[in-house]
Structure 1
Amino acid sequence: MNIDALHYRTGEPVRVHVEDGAIAAIEALGIRELPLEEREGLPIVAPGLVDLQINGYGGYDFNHPALGAEDVKKAVRAVWREGVTGFYPTVITGAPYTILGAMRAIARACEEDEASAATIKGIHLEGPFLSPEDGPRGAHALEHIRPPDTALFDQWQEASGGRISIVTLSPEWEGSAEFIRHCVRRGVTVSIGHTSADAAQIAGAVAAGARLSTHLGNGAHAMLPRHPNYLWAQLAADELWCTLIADGFHLPDEVLKVAMKVKGRRVLLVSDAVALAGLAPGSYDTPVGGRVVLTPAGRLHLAGEPGLLAGSAQMLLRHIARLSAAGLASLPDAWDMASVHPAGFMALPVAAGLAAGAPADLALIRRTGPGGGGLALTALCQAGGWVYRRE
């Protein structure tokens, strides 16, 4: 199979040769191979998106108490239309048996369905080992917050078939360092998030093996000491990568700009999307936030308190387009923050991006809207096969 498109980094026309699920070669196309008028009609080709944090999408919630394997399979196919070829279903704080059920459902989906196994790269466990304080805790239910527990984690990991790849915790708990080392020894990435930990506790977590900050700047107190505070401590820790929510609602542009300047290539974009992402604007009842409103602009807030967000309802295409349109990052650099960089962080083969020998996980996109500031997916290729084509 051959794909003619504009290379997302150079803007030059290329022909991507795909064989046996991989990129066999990338050939530059000159005027002889492709007349100018044909170049102008080409889509852009880029690596498939890799999202480290999706709580749900299109009405499917990975934290629903009755989550089943069929729901997971349908969610996998739904996220394809957002350019996502790999993601980490995120299971948040809940009763131990609810988390156990989610792990079993995701594992069963992967065992029964090749598409789910290919798209789900692991599971992100966000909680319940988080801060009990209002603000840092966010929307996580206080009644289920608890100290790190290796036996409980191992039980969930067994139920998942060893698929838990990322754990978000707050290192403010006694015994956090031992728990982090326990996870690291088992190949699990530990991330700091929803925390009120002090600088010494964060340093201790890093020394124990924590490598990431979860949606830095969110899941925090509304008011913080000027210094020290846990945001400065995480920004200053060179060992920590960080994920950011760049949907235009969760973080001001100046915060995004500073984080990207400090962390450089260690910034990763996540959607942190909830089940209402991909649905029409309107008012909805949810099990966590209660009555919420999804605005036409894509902002999700509590019905009774418009100033309080109720999660993210935007997928990574929106985040990339926003960073690019705001001049905070070029389109290629913003795209890499949501594709090859998270893939590299998690040691996935697709980290090779658009290169010979890399898996053929490819997104075809077009610029949309005034000035070409938006992005729309036209087709998605996973392991050399088309899994989505826009009508």
Structure 2
Amino acid sequence: MILHARHYATNEPVAVTVARGCIAGVSASDREPSSWIAPALFDPQINGCLGISFNSPALAPEQVRTVATVCREHGIGAFAPTLVTNSFEALHHGFATLAGALDTDPELARIMPCFHLEGPYLSGEDGPRGAHPREHTRDPDWDEFRRWQDAAGGRIRMVTLAPERAGALALIEKLAAADVVVAIGHTAASGQQIRDAVNAGARTSTHLGNGCHAVLPRHDNYIWEQLACDDLWASMITDGHHLPATLVKCFSRVKGADRLLITSDVGSLAGMPPGKYREWGTDLEVLPSGKIVVAGTPFLAGSGHFTDVCVSNVIRMTGMSLKDAIDLASAQPRKLLGLPVTKIEAGQPASLMLFDWVSGGEVTVREML
């Protein structure tokens, strides 16, 4: 099979030959294709969709496959299934169910090469806690984490936590020694606590600018502290609801392309019609705009837009190139997690997306390989 499209990084027409799931060759195309080609997206934070939550105590393997199928429709060739703050039993079931589904399906295992645990070792304060249930936020417990890691078959590659929790620094050290990426998020930490976390091995910030108090000190606060730290990467949710364009532009300029990545943080209600739903023991609402909030409040509860929308938005918000925007949602998450970076080169896996795009418009996925 030969694919004719414009290379996302060069804008040049290329002919990409694909055989047996690999790129067999790349050459100049003698056509003027209207579609584009790029590595498939990778999202480090997918919670579910269509009413399916990876956090559900009733999660079933066929539901895992449904989420993967929907994600591919949005250019997401691989992602990290994310489980959030819950009881030990619910999280154990979720990780065990995911691992069981992947153990019996090599294609699913390729699509979901690692897992993300967001919580339960997060701030219990309103604001930083976000939509995470307060009754399940708690101090870090290495033995508890190890049991989840065993259930996951060793696939938990990222843990988001609040470094101010008692015992957090010791856990960060152990996680870093075990090659688990530690992310700071849903935190009310002081500047010193954030610096201590980085010294202990924390490497990134989860959805910087979200999971915060509504009002912060203008100078000394945990957003500035993480933004200024050159040893921390940061993810941003650029769905159009979580961060205003001015903040996305500032974050992008300060962190630069080498320490930044995009996540959709798509929630279990993504793709659902407007209305009220019950998730995580909380009443949530999908608004007509697709925004998902804790019912009756302005507080966000995950995203209703997938990673392809986030790529389109970050281009509009910052003016960055198509190449840089796609790399933030494909190469950068893989680099952070220590996964192979997909390139459009001979010998590489054919994990690619074909899409339509006009400058200033939407990235519209046409086909996934």
Fold similarity call, TM over 0.5: yes
Q: Using the alignment, how far apart are the partners of 2:67 and 2:113 within structure 1?
A: 14
Q: What is the 5 A alignment of 1:299-338?
A: 299-305=291-297, 307-338=298-329
Number of the residue aligned with 1:128: 120
> What do the CA deviations read for 1:51-77 (whole angstroms, capped 9, x no partner)?
000111222211112112221122112
Q: Using the alignment, how far apart are the partners of 1:146 and 1:68 within structure 2?
A: 27
- SS of residue matched to 2:246: helix
Shift of 1:372: 5.7
Letter in 1 for 2:330: S
Number of the residue aligned with 2:10: 10
- Structure 1 pair 242/379, CA: closer, same or farther in 2 (3 Å)? same
Q: Using the alignment, how far apart are the partners of 1:53 and 1:157 within structure 2?
A: 17
Q: Using the alignment, how far apart are the partners of 2:318 and 2:130 within structure 1?
A: 30
- Name the count of aligned residue pairs: 367
Q: What is the 5 A alignment of 1:140-219?
A: 140-219=132-211
> What do the CA deviations read for 1:104-141 (whole angstroms, capped 9, x no partner)?
01000101112211100211000000011111011111
Number of the residue aligned with 2:47: 55
**Maintained 8 Å contact 1:48/1:83:** yes
Number of the residue aligned with 2:356: 366
Shift of 1:298: 2.2
Aligned match of 1:348 in 323, 334, 339? 339
Shift of 1:327: 4.3
Letter in 1 for 2:344: L
- Structure 1 pair 327/172, CA: closer, same or farther in 2 (3 Å)? closer
Letter in 1 for 2:285: V
Q: What is the 5 A alignment of 1:231-246?
A: 231-246=223-238
Q: What is the 5 A alignment of 1:227-266?
A: 227-265=219-257, 266=259
Greater CA drift, 71-80 or 16-25: 16-25
**Maintained 8 Å contact 2:40/2:352:** yes
Aligned match of 2:270 in 270, 277, 292? 277
- Structure 1 pair 299/19, CA: closer, same or farther in 2 (3 Å)? same
**Maintained 8 Å contact 1:269/1:337:** yes
Q: Using the alignment, how far apart are the partners of 1:352 and 1:55 within structure 2?
A: 23
Shift of 1:367: 2.4
**Maintained 8 Å contact 1:171/1:177:** yes
2:91 paired with 1:99: yes
**Maintained 8 Å contact 1:73/1:113:** no
Number of the residue aligned with 1:267: 260
Aligned match of 1:70 in 62, 66, 78? 62
Letter in 1 for 2:268: A
Q: Using the alignment, how far apart are the partners of 1:130 and 1:187 within structure 2?
A: 21
Shift of 1:360: 1.1
Q: What is the 5 A alignment of 1:19-58?
A: 19-29=19-29, 33-34=30-31, 39-40=32-33, 42-58=34-50
Q: Using the alignment, how far apart are the partners of 2:330 and 2:169 within structure 1?
A: 30
> What do the CA deviations read for 1:15-68 (whole angstroms, capped 9, x no partner)?
112234322321012xxx32xxxx14x311010000000111222211112112
Greater CA drift, 245-254 or 285-294: 285-294
2:366 paired with 1:375: no
**Maintained 8 Å contact 2:245/2:318:** no
Q: Using the alignment, how far apart are the partners of 2:76 and 2:104 within structure 1?
A: 20
Number of the residue aligned with 1:386: none
- SS of residue matched to 1:326: helix
Q: Using the alignment, how far apart are the partners of 2:40 and 2:203 within structure 1?
A: 24
- SS of residue matched to 2:363: strand
RMSD between superposed Cα atoms in Å: 1.5
> What do the CA deviations read for 1:166-223 (whole angstroms, capped 9, x no partner)?
0000000232111011111111100000001111111111111110100000000001
Shift of 1:299: 1.8
Shift of 1:291: 4.2
Q: Using the alignment, how far apart are the partners of 2:26 and 2:219 within structure 1?
A: 50
- Structure 1 pair 372/202, CA: closer, same or farther in 2 (3 Å)? closer
Q: Using the alignment, how far apart are the partners of 2:99 and 2:120 within structure 1?
A: 20
**Amino-acid identity (%):** 42
**Maintained 8 Å contact 2:284/2:301:** no
**Maintained 8 Å contact 1:293/1:302:** no
Shift of 1:145: 0.8
Letter in 2 for 1:3: L
Unaligned runs of 5+ in 2: none
**Maintained 8 Å contact 1:323/1:330:** no
Give the TM-score normalised by structure 1: 0.90
Q: Using the alignment, how far apart are the partners of 1:327 and 1:239 within structure 2?
A: 23
Q: Using the alignment, how far apart are the partners of 2:151 and 2:346 within structure 1?
A: 37
Q: Using the alignment, how far apart are the partners of 2:219 and 2:90 within structure 1?
A: 38
Unaligned runs of 5+ in 1: 382-391
